[in-house]
Structure 1
Amino acid sequence: MRPLPSLPQPPLKVLPQLQKATTAAMKTAAPPPKLKISEWADRYRRLSSESSAEPGQWMTRRAEYQRGIMDAISDHGVDRVVLMTSAQVGKTEILNNIVGFHISQDPSPILVMQPTLDMAETWSKDRLAPMLRDTPALQDKVADPRSRDSGNTLLHKRFNGGHVTVVGANSAAGLASRPIRVVLADEVDRYPASAGTEGDPLSLAIKRTSTFWNRRIVMCSTPTIKGISRIEAAWDETDQRHYHVACPHCQHEQRLVWSGVKWPDGKPQDALYHCEECGAGWSDAERRAAIRWGKWKATRKSAVVGFHLNEIYSPWSSVADMAVAFIAAKRSPETLKTWINTTLGETWEEEAEKVDGRSLLSRTEDLPACPDQVLVVTCGIDVQDDRLEIEKVGWAPDEESWSLEHKIIYGDPSAPDLWKELDEYLLELTERADGTELPVHSACIDSGGHHTQAVYRFVKDRVRRRVYAIKGMGGPGRPVWPRYASKNNKGRINLFLIGVDAAKDAVYARLKIKVPGPGYCHFPKREPHYFEQLTAEIVQTKYVKGFPTRVYVLPGGMRNEALDCRVYAYAALQSLNVRWGHLLAAQSRNPPPPKPRTEQIEAAPAPPAGVSNPRPRRSGWVERRGGWLR
């Protein structure tokens, strides 16, 4: 057989051209590389001159904290991300990167929601359109809306595999009947309570994602008012991630908080950030370098991912400028509120809801002298220049309380007769309705007025009776009853510095309880001025040494002795560290006698002459259980 003729070989110079064409065809047919959002942005995103102060190639390392946020949204195990941030941290550009990534790499139906329709149009024109125009990877993905067959409008952009719909939260029509995989809800604290008559706009948007197993819901906003802030409520349910940076001087890792910004008196323009560990001041260059090597840390476990950022992290802001702005904002509550929201990314605390004294007056009761539920009795004593005001409070398990008596002893606190009368009052037994007699188990006397030494002399020999000199100390984080007493005083007595803010928080919280039971406060019939004093103080947010502090304020013309007495009686209860279960068990083992034992009390021998600290006679079940308070 004759051999087949060989096929002619192409010229050698044609082979590279064929290889190049084949490679190009394979690249065209190949799926896009699997990238995270931050990787896509670093490779493809271009910033536009009309929407960025730094146009050109996107660089995540410019604000490194953005990488963790974008990568969390890329994580297949996460379907909801919450961003509670200040201004000037790049939040809007993060949202733009998410949109660009999904148009280019992961086509999906996307909903971008702004507070109003006008803001939605502004975002589409000023943010989305320039990104589509200037980012090469997006230029051919979305048709020009000016073309006849584009199908695109200002608020609706179609591309292969998906679309971008931009709506205002005040427009119900844009939220209905449209399946959505990716919801980007911007500035949620500015959303109306209802989109027309349809209900909560954010809930309506989230419902549109229910058919997608791989949905993404991103909520972001600067917060507004504490207690009504949508973003704060959402943040509270997350794993609450904070960005930690290492000190350039001691390498201690820490969050950047406003209390770390300090400046010489009257010179906010010289402000520096100071390390919480070594106290060293950081220049802005050192701060920005530290931020570049920082990392996110979650503070609790949750399936929802949450990030909090303030402007101190921003590479586009200086600490000195923030300090100058803070001084200017302090001039009025409105400007200070804006500064807290937009610079610190924190909620503004309005004046606390004042407890209405009239509501307490309307729920007074016809009570016995001491109800059977009372197991512990304490007293709070407020010292005035012409009198002592006293409240005797009975306590039951779960700190349900009864105001047993509000007594005023008039006299000169610098004279011994007034203190003798107080001593006799504290020695009196309180008889319950079932005949059980209870002593005053603990009493707290305010020593912070004009008669400090008189208080010191009175309590010095009465420690065994748990009669204590106290002094109120404000400030967050201070416990109601301290672990140790202070003896740094002229009388060298045990002085207990109580946390009055925590105590007032507890008292006010209990006054708001309207149903008898745990924490409820019972009051007998009393004059209206008592309840006005009990509810006189209000809560305000003031700035102390550069950071917000919650303080109790007494409005001008008001008196608060009744509140002080209740606070001191509550502190006296905390001093006992009562184990209510043991106390109830002791009472059940030793039930009260069928009749009051008045004859035995009247026959009790008088204390020996010269003894100033007699022990009160107690009922049998309390006397035999001497350790129930310890």
Structure 2
Amino acid sequence: MLDIAVTSAEWMVHDVLANVLEPPEDVNYLKWAVENIEFSKRESEFDGSYNTELFKFFEEILAALGPDDPCRIITLRKSAQLGGTVLANIFTGGSMDMDPGDFLYVHPTHDNAVRWSKMKLSPMLKGTTALRKIFPMKARDGQDSVTYKERRDGRGALLISGANSPASLSQVSMNRQVQDDLAKWEMNSAGDPETQADSRSNGREFAKIFKLSTPMVLPGCRISANFDAGSQEYPYVPCPHCGFMQMLEWENMLQSLDEEHPERAHFTCQGPDCGCAIEDHHRSEMIPHVEWRAENPKLKRYHRSFDLWSAYSPLQSFERIARSWLAAKGDPPKEQTFWNDVVGKPYRVLGESPPWEDLRDRASESDYVHGNIPVGYPLLTCGVDCQGDRVEWQVVAWGQNKRRAVVEYGVFNGHISDEKCQANLNGLLKQGFRNAYGRKVEIDMLAIDGNAYTEDVWDWARKHPAGRVIMVRGVHPESAPLLAVVKKERNRRGKIVRYSKRFYNFASSVLKMSLYRNLKKDDPEERGFVALPRGLEDEYFRQLTAESRKAQKAKSGFTRYLWVKDPSQANEGLDTHLQAEAAATRLGVRSLPDSEWDKLMAARECPPEEIQGDFEDLLMPVQSAAAVEPEQQSKSESVKQRVRNKWSKKKL
């Protein structure tokens, strides 16, 4: 006999209402992290559950992200590799679990978004029990894709977007959002992406917007502008000796830094009548008592902004901080990376070039004349810029400690496709320039601009070895790598050209900042010094200093900073110099050890009866060509090619 359970309609209504009206659990991101976040050795220095004692400084930020704090915007300006991604993941995963709704996660680019989804989000969804239960993972009904994740019950969804895609920042309304790596966001085709993302939460009264990033450069750093617009909260810790509450500031460590013994790096207590050393091992005593103190407390109700750097993190020792500074000191691009990634502060740019007259006057007192190589600069590179009716070029010599010397500047008439112009460039590669010992040194590497007339440039470049001639193109983002391979592109006919791994993008904005900072140095022994020869025309110095970094206001109201050329002044002197520096970067001058510089100078800075040798040859013992038998010469060429291939892979 079949038993059938029957209930009344009234009981069913009450049961449904009970479920609907049941108050939700408290949203506590810290508690959720402790119960759900698990670290593995593969992704972290730590193994096991989220440790509140190690990351005590995150508690206030997690509390600000919760609904009990009335603030709408939370900004975190931080050092790199500090745990910001963990915070964002806790906010994202905890929200989808405890208080589901629509969530927007924005990265600088669509590619960044896809990479984060695959490498960070998917492992978290699979490895976190609470999230694995509510997300379908590889459903066939559209609930799961790389950039869109919907809960099984339809109560919330996660949209993953790139700031360079205005379409993904439109027609959505979000309760919560994360704006990750904000300092790297660039204007998109519809305007300012930050304004677009912020507007996605305008219709939600109790929305939370989490902005976090390592800073970039000032003026114009997005995350720093947001930090300044908020409560400006800094972490204070007690001195382990006297208990005086203070910030750990980089300038404090720098004052007592012993460059011969970076392992002794420490802070000095600022308390009255103390002055004791605060050392690395004291952090475990101080961090559990961290306090966030606001310099602009009246804004805490609406916008809480936090500043945190490596000295507070168990992931970075004081010694490593000190060694990072010593490795970067005197090299502007590396100094910028240190300030951004280690200190967590924006790098202030010298937006104006030095007066060209000052450079001309310094050059007039130089101890060498143009066309010659001064002592101490054994490597030679050349930058070439292609115009419609001419090709302009500049030769620069390189020495230890990131120092350089301008050797020569010239112009060949004709288009790069003209046979005569190409013949002149071929001759430039062969002619050599005399150094102080009377030896002729040939150009080790030439970098030619491939941005304009790309196919004509490629037609000439591929006739020469990749170890001597490369194509380059400047790119403007300040977050771009110094040098990156252009893997493939389409030509005018739509055909994909692969360029044989000899076409590179270089960070023109970063190199301009570096050059203008180094041009102000007047001590020939100082790291990064730029030597200038006698005899160059005034026009060269005008061109070298033709650009400045200026504010430009977009229609959206956002101000961005771009390098702008004086409209009445040509700038090929600057362009060719940066192209020569790109070639030097490809050769590896930034990382070449002192022992290799010694070999180069021993081989080239000597009387001319010795053999000069190519750059790669000089990494091996130099021998007389006359003493090499034909069979040995063949073997030598084979070895030379293997070494060139090795260095081509190694330098980048």
TM-score (normalizing by structure 2) = 0.49
Q: How many pairs are equivalent?
A: 340
Q: Are 1:88 and 2:81 matched, yes or no?
A: yes
Q: Are 1:169 and 2:163 matched, yes or no?
A: yes
Distance 2:166 2:41 in 1: 34
Cα offset, 1:31, TM superposition = 5.2
Kept in 2, the 8 Å contact 1:117–1:169? The answer is yes
Distance 2:75 2:215 in 1: 12
Kept in 2, the 8 Å contact 1:310–1:343? The answer is yes
Q: Are 1:297 and 2:289 matched, yes or no?
A: no
Cα offset, 1:125, TM superposition = 1.2
Q: Are 1:155 and 2:151 matched, yes or no?
A: no
* Partner of residue 191 from structure 1, selected from 171, 185, 189: 185
Q: Are 1:306 and 2:305 matched, yes or no?
A: yes
Gapped regions of structure 2 (runs ≥ 5): 1-17, 358-515, 522-531, 535-652
The letter of the residue matching 1:136 is T
SS of residue paired to 2:74: strand
Equivalent in the alignment of 1:287: 283
Cα offset, 1:126, TM superposition = 1.3
Kept in 2, the 8 Å contact 1:89–1:313? The answer is no
Q: Are 1:203 and 2:199 matched, yes or no?
A: no
Pairing 1:6-25 to 2, within 5 Å after superposition: none
Kept in 2, the 8 Å contact 1:188–1:219? The answer is yes
Kept in 1, the 8 Å contact 2:45–2:315? The answer is no
Gapped regions of structure 1 (runs ≥ 5): 1-25, 359-537, 544-554, 558-630
Q: Structure 2 vs 1, CA of residues 57 and 289 (structure 1 numbering), >3 Å: closer, same or farther?
A: same
Cα offset, 1:55, TM superposition = 3.5
Equivalent in the alignment of 1:335: 334
Kept in 1, the 8 Å contact 2:101–2:157? The answer is yes
Cα offset, 1:274, TM superposition = 2.2
Cα offset, 1:127, TM superposition = 1.1
Kept in 1, the 8 Å contact 2:201–2:207? The answer is yes
Structure index of larger Rg? 1
Cα offset, 1:289, TM superposition = 2.2
Cα offset, 1:264, TM superposition = 3.0
Q: Structure 2 vs 1, CA of residues 266 and 50 (structure 1 numbering), >3 Å: closer, same or farther?
A: closer
Q: Structure 2 vs 1, CA of residues 212 and 540 (structure 1 numbering), >3 Å: closer, same or farther?
A: farther
Equivalent in the alignment of 1:269: 263
Equivalent in the alignment of 2:467: none
Cα offset, 1:107, TM superposition = 0.5
Distance 2:285 2:533 in 1: 50
User: Deviations along 1:12-62, whole A, 9 cap, x unmatched?
Assistant: xxxxxxxxxxxxxx9999655303211221223223554333243112321
Q: Are 1:326 and 2:320 matched, yes or no?
A: no
Q: Structure 2 vs 1, CA of residues 188 and 79 (structure 1 numbering), >3 Å: closer, same or farther?
A: same
Pairing 1:531-570 to 2, within 5 Å after superposition: none
Pairing 1:234-273 to 2, within 5 Å after superposition: 234-261=226-253, 262-273=256-267
* Partner of residue 120 from structure 1, selected from 84, 109, 113: 113
Q: Structure 2 vs 1, CA of residues 321 and 357 (structure 1 numbering), >3 Å: closer, same or farther?
A: closer
Distance 2:194 2:160 in 1: 14
Pairing 1:365-404 to 2, within 5 Å after superposition: none
Q: Structure 2 vs 1, CA of residues 95 and 265 (structure 1 numbering), >3 Å: closer, same or farther?
A: closer
Equivalent in the alignment of 1:388: none
Equivalent in the alignment of 1:217: 209
SS of residue paired to 2:145: coil
Q: Structure 2 vs 1, CA of residues 243 and 353 (structure 1 numbering), >3 Å: closer, same or farther?
A: same
Kept in 1, the 8 Å contact 2:310–2:343? The answer is yes
Q: Structure 2 vs 1, CA of residues 542 and 295 (structure 1 numbering), >3 Å: closer, same or farther?
A: farther
SS of residue paired to 2:275: coil
Equivalent in the alignment of 2:99: 106
Q: Structure 2 vs 1, CA of residues 223 and 280 (structure 1 numbering), >3 Å: closer, same or farther?
A: same
The letter of the residue matching 1:82 is T
The letter of the residue matching 1:310 is W
SS of residue paired to 2:104: strand
The letter of the residue matching 2:287 is I
Kept in 1, the 8 Å contact 2:147–2:161? The answer is yes
Cα offset, 1:540, TM superposition = 9.0
Cα offset, 1:201, TM superposition = 1.0
Decide which moves more: 207-216 or 277-286.
Answer: 277-286
* % identity of equivalent residues: 28
Distance 2:31 2:168 in 1: 32
TM-score (normalizing by structure 1) = 0.51
Distance 1:222 1:168 in 2: 17
Distance 1:178 1:541 in 2: 49
Kept in 2, the 8 Å contact 1:48–1:134? The answer is no
Equivalent in the alignment of 1:560: none
Q: Structure 2 vs 1, CA of residues 51 and 107 (structure 1 numbering), >3 Å: closer, same or farther?
A: same
SS of residue paired to 1:34: coil
Cα offset, 1:539, TM superposition = 8.5
The letter of the residue matching 1:283 is E
Kept in 1, the 8 Å contact 2:173–2:200? The answer is yes
Distance 2:205 2:337 in 1: 39
The letter of the residue matching 2:315 is W
Q: Structure 2 vs 1, CA of residues 285 and 314 (structure 1 numbering), >3 Å: closer, same or farther?
A: same
Distance 2:294 2:118 in 1: 36
Distance 2:519 2:174 in 1: 41
Measured on the aligned residues, the alpha-carbon RMSD in Å equals 2.9
Distance 1:27 1:43 in 2: 25
Q: Structure 2 vs 1, CA of residues 227 and 265 (structure 1 numbering), >3 Å: closer, same or farther?
A: closer
Q: Structure 2 vs 1, CA of residues 208 and 268 (structure 1 numbering), >3 Å: closer, same or farther?
A: same
Equivalent in the alignment of 2:619: none
